[in-house]
Chain A
């Protein structure tokens, strides 16, 4: 055959790859731009100059920055913005990986029972004051984290008993979700006013608890786990063609499945333990990306994370400014902003907008 045609294919592939890379970079740029913008938004009105001055003052000897601006931007807004980004990334990445590894578009940390597990752990800590590791300030966070991972272990264990079928795993996750919801309802029923209020807040999720001390640990952890998961991109691509084909392409399907599920469970658990339940993002971010750039996990995983970050950051900024000084729980805003956008994409199917 002539060489032109071969090279032509190469060019077409290079162009398609470049477009996906560009899409990733645009997303990254958008997240950064919204983050910068968000530092200027809030109950206290600070201009661009003041906000940047406050951030710069940390690193450079810049003069004339008010302590007020510094406290508001550095201690309140910045950790919260970073928390929104990191939470969005975690949920988006975990959703993409879980859907890929289980070949099911309806899977999310929520459907697999991880969120309900975390909520149950948190509710136990709130109502009974009992934690898996003693008591103290972080009792709710640690309980939520531990219960979330425990759920994943139970769900995987049940599916192992039936020969690791994907359907069993998903159904076990859904069933565990119902069980934990029942436990939460029971705890709500027996709890007092204050505790009930706290559970309800936890269940609605929010980023208002963001602190530097948590963000500083979560950033490297989330980035590390995301990169670890991205290493399995090719395996996930092959697995989407079915277990048999993946296996004939030299992939140890069961091993990849347990590694990817565990890593994404840790990723999810470590953020929702702090934020409470934030639904929707883990389910929908991967779909938005697939509609826009296709399913190649090399691009899908990072893009899904960035879409998650973007949606959560926009939602959270909206929820803390719309009726300031009070705020709307972010889960409500996420759905109000995200659902119409997603439905629009779904109906218009603008999948190949770049061609």
Chain B
């Protein structure tokens, strides 16, 4: 398997809240990796450092074998798509216009018929084509999240970064959004990194997990090896039982805080 994304010795600090120290991780083609850990462990910060939204003080990120920092911001944005935790549009845009913004790295001034086709296909892929000419602010939280994902997909990225994609959604939309990520990764042979709060969703949908604690990587591996009662107790300070869940994936049952 080809390595799609590699983070090497990445360190970042800004004030005291967002700090990362010597993060190293790898992501293969067609793989979903979840970043888990308690609040303040640096999940979102790491996502933003990978996407060059924040500039890490130290370390390198390689995408598709190329050093990210050496790419122009335009070329970089063709390789990496970012889905924020929540999207707030102050001004009225139609869904089509919002997804079309994802074509920004590819277009000059004129929208080509290819751009329109990519947007149309993306909307269809996400199952939201009926919203195309609706206004964004009229839609529900789950629909908005899908539109934010569609915008990132319209960039045609090699790696998709998602910052807590399910945190504001009901259980149906949580599953729908995660299924879309899974389908994407399989069909388009791209890779996805997700910052996740929900350990059970992470367990069910990720190939690998990176558990962060105190600004660094605590452990890495498949869900079975990462989600153990001992690890959860150590990282989250919570006593938990881990059972056998859907499709044999571990299912975490938090019991009490320690």
- Listed in ascending order, the chain A residues whose CB lies under 8 Å from chain B are 1, 5-6, 8-10, 12-13, 16-17, 99-100, 103-105, 231, 233-235, 237-238, 240-245, 247-252, 290-291, 294-296, 298, 351-352, 355
Contact = CB atoms under 8 A, between A and B. Distances in A.
A244 B53 contact: yes
Given A250-B105, A251-B73, A290 B133 contact: no
A186 B124 CA distance: 63
A108 to B, nearest CB: 15
Given A241-B98, A295-B93, A1 B116 contact: no
A351 B135 contact: yes
Interface residues of B, number: 49
A234 B100 CA distance: 10
B82 A250 contact: no
Given A13-B116, A245-B84, A294 B97 contact: yes
B94 interface: yes
Secondary structure at chain A's binding surface: helix, strand, loop or mixed? helix
Given A10-B113, A295-B93, 9 more contacts: A10-B116, A12-B133, A13-B96, A13-B119, A105-B90, A233-B109, A249-B155, A294-B97, A294-B135
Given A16-B133, A250-B74, A296-B93, A5 B107 contact: no
B101 A238 contact: yes
A291 B107 CA distance: 26
Contacts of B129: 5, 9
Nearest to A103: B90
A247 B88 CA distance: 16
A290 B92 contact: yes
B70 to A, nearest CB: 15
A183 to B, nearest CB: 33
B73 A351 contact: no
Interface string B154-167: 01000001000000
Contacts of B109: 231, 233-234, 298
A242 to B, nearest CB: 7
Given A244-B48, A247-B52, A237 B124 contact: no
A10 B117 contact: yes
A344 B238 CA distance: 57
A105 to B, nearest CB: 6
Nearest to B152: A248
Nearest to B91: A295
Nearest to B77: A250
A6 B115 CA distance: 11
Contacts of B151: 241, 245
Nearest to A253: B53
Given A295-B92, A351-B135, A248 B53 contact: yes
A1 B118 CA distance: 12
Among A9, A105, A294, the most chain B Cβ lie within 10 Å of the Cβ of: A9
A87 B135 CA distance: 32
Interface in B67-101: 72-74, 76-78, 80-82, 84, 87-94, 96-98, 101
B233 to A, nearest CB: 34
B77 A249 contact: yes
Contact of A9 (B91, B104, B116): B116
Given A245-B82, A294-B94, A9 B73 contact: no
Contacts of B169: none
A100 B74 CA distance: 21
Nearest to B118: A6
Interface in B103-152: 104-105, 107, 109, 111, 113, 116-117, 119-121, 123-124, 129, 132-133, 135, 148, 151-152
The 5 A-B residue pairs with the shortest CB-CB distance, nearest first, are A9-B120, A250-B77, A248-B82, A295-B91, A250-B73
A240 B52 contact: no
B184 to A, nearest CB: 15
A8 B119 CA distance: 12
A290 B77 contact: no
Contacts of B101: 234, 237-238, 241, 245, 249
Contacts of B116: 9-10, 13
A12 B63 CA distance: 36
Nearest to B52: A247
Contacts of B132: 9, 12
Contacts of A240: 89-91, 93
Among B98, B104, B105, B135, the most chain A Cβ lie within 10 Å of the Cβ of: B104
